[in-house]
Structure 1
Amino acid sequence: MSENPVQHLLQAFNYISRCVQTQLARFILRSDQPPASAQKDNLLTSLSSYSVGAFHPETLQKQKPSGPTTREDLGRATWTFLHTLAAQYPEKPTRQQKKDVKELMAILSRMYPCKECADHFREVLIATPVQAGSHDEFSHWLCHVHNVVNRSLGKLTFPCERVDARWGKLECENRACDLQGAASIDVANDAHKRR
């Protein structure tokens, strides 16, 4: 069965959407004085019902109100997302998965909310094209690129041989965190068994 070419990209943007929703919730909750308990409960209830489980009232109550997202916050969130994606990237990716991850990097280099960052990332991609032939190749390529960016910012670099220890696979039941997802794997296995 052929894969939906945008499925993986949509999953990636779903993750980013949840991060944006969390920041939006922080913005909505921000005020000079904390709201009364009843008002806070009503706000949290309406927020949690608005986005079908993207964030929970308990999570919002634990978060400290903050100002607008900083460039540094956005950068950390983006690198966390990308390294988590790389950790889930299969050892033997399909042609479509290789294409999708390359397209994602190209899109980030054009659409990233920080123009200076996007321009720099585009330059890095030209100098060091995406390597996505396997999990190890993509994880180490991404670590190298992250280090290029860190050096340009005067930050410390990360030892890429430790990338899997730092950003390991997500722990999910029934392989639900695999890029292909459990349903796709089951369909592929069923098709293989019928041969």
Structure 2
Amino acid sequence: MLKCSLLTNSYISGTLLNILQSEFVLCIITFVMAARQQYDDGQGEKSCRACVDFKSWIMGKRSAKTSDASSSSSSDNSRNNINDKTTTSANSSVDSESHQRKSCPLDKEELGRSTWGVLHSIAAYLPEMLNSETQKDMHNLMRLFSLYYPCEYCAKDMREELAKNPPDVMSRRSFSQWLCRLHNSVNQKLGKPMFDCSKVDERWRDGWSDVERKLSKMSKEAEKARQYLVDKNIPLIFEP
């Protein structure tokens, strides 16, 4: 096949020009196919929707690169060089996977934790007594969350909860307590443990004391143990 670089010669004519025109088309096709293959091989940018199977894709690429390196080796030295490059490429792939996962959209669980964190923190740092304007703002805040929360059935459930139990916005404490009860209502539906609403300020504003921190850690460990028993279908109450 003639080299593509010859196409820049404007003095070629006749049959040779026709041949070169055909070669030009082949060059364009080859370039497009190479670019497409580069994207398919992962050298192009991947969209975040591939995160679910990105790890499997990385492992497949790593195996393919190792196979290519072995088949193209002609000596021990060249094998070592190729293996070094493959190792570097594999490490880069792992870093790319980590970055790809971190840059993915929040899933339902991450979104829920982040949302509750924001709402509880807003309530914790309000003035002790709320004026009429702030009370209206808090009502609107919850209403807008229930309308635009990016989880359809979660948003619908929140709207139903707000209809049954409107926000208590008389004071910072009353709103914090109301929000805690709302959170516990959701936890109950999901089979999660209830939170002691008397400790809302310690959790979201003041921080835990040393004793409370240890108790909180023990509570989390106990919940992990309970969940393990549930997952293994082991009865939680042992009868003699």
TM range (shorter): 0.5 to 0.7
For residues 151 and 66 of structure 1, the distance between their equivalents in structure 2, rounded to whole angstroms, comes to 31
Higher share of residues assigned helix: 2
Match for 1:161 among 188, 198, 201?
198
Q: Show structure 1 runs of 5+ residues with no match.
A: 1-26, 41-60, 171-195
Provide, for residues 65-105 of structure 1, a one-character-per-residue CA deviation record: whole Å limited to 9, x for no partner.
36431101000000000000011111111211110010010
Alignment of 1:46-195 (within 5 A): 65=102, 67-168=104-205
Q: Which residue identity is paired with 1:84?
A: S
Q: Which residue identity is paired with 2:199?
A: R
Q: Is the 1:88–1:169 Cα contact (8 Å) retained in structure 2?
A: no
**Structure of higher RCO (CA pairs closer than 8 Å, 6+ residues apart):** 1
For residues 127 and 113 of structure 1, the distance between their equivalents in structure 2, rounded to whole angstroms, comes to 22
Q: Which residue identity is paired with 1:127?
A: K
Provide, for residues 83-140 of structure 1, a one-character-per-residue CA deviation record: whole Å limited to 9, x for no partner.
0001111111121111001001001111110010000000111111100111110000
Q: Percent identity?
A: 41
**Alignment-derived partner of residue 178 in structure 1:** none
Go from structure 1 to structure 2 and tell me whether the alpha carbon gap of 1:127 and 1:79 turns closer, same or farther (over 3 Å shift).
same
Q: Which has the larger radius of gyration?
A: 2
Provide, for residues 27-70 of structure 1, a one-character-per-residue CA deviation record: whole Å limited to 9, x for no partner.
6xx8857769xxx9xxxxxxxxxxxxxxxxxxxx9x97364311
For residues 91 and 34 of structure 1, the distance between their equivalents in structure 2, rounded to whole angstroms, comes to 53
Go from structure 1 to structure 2 and tell me whether the alpha carbon gap of 1:151 and 1:89 turns closer, same or farther (over 3 Å shift).
same
Alignment of 1:37-52 (within 5 A): none
Q: Is the 1:112–1:118 Cα contact (8 Å) retained in structure 2?
A: yes
SS at match of 1:167: helix
SS at match of 2:114: helix
Q: Which residue identity is paired with 1:160?
A: C
SS at match of 1:97: helix
Q: Which residue identity is paired with 1:139?
A: S
Q: What is the alpha-carbon root mean square deviation over aligned residues?
A: 3.0
**Alignment-derived partner of residue 48 in structure 1:** none
Q: Show structure 2 runs of 5+ residues with no match.
A: 1-47, 59-89, 208-240
For residues 67 and 97 of structure 1, the distance between their equivalents in structure 2, rounded to whole angstroms, comes to 35
For residues 206 and 165 of structure 2, the distance between their equivalents in structure 1, rounded to whole angstroms, comes to 25
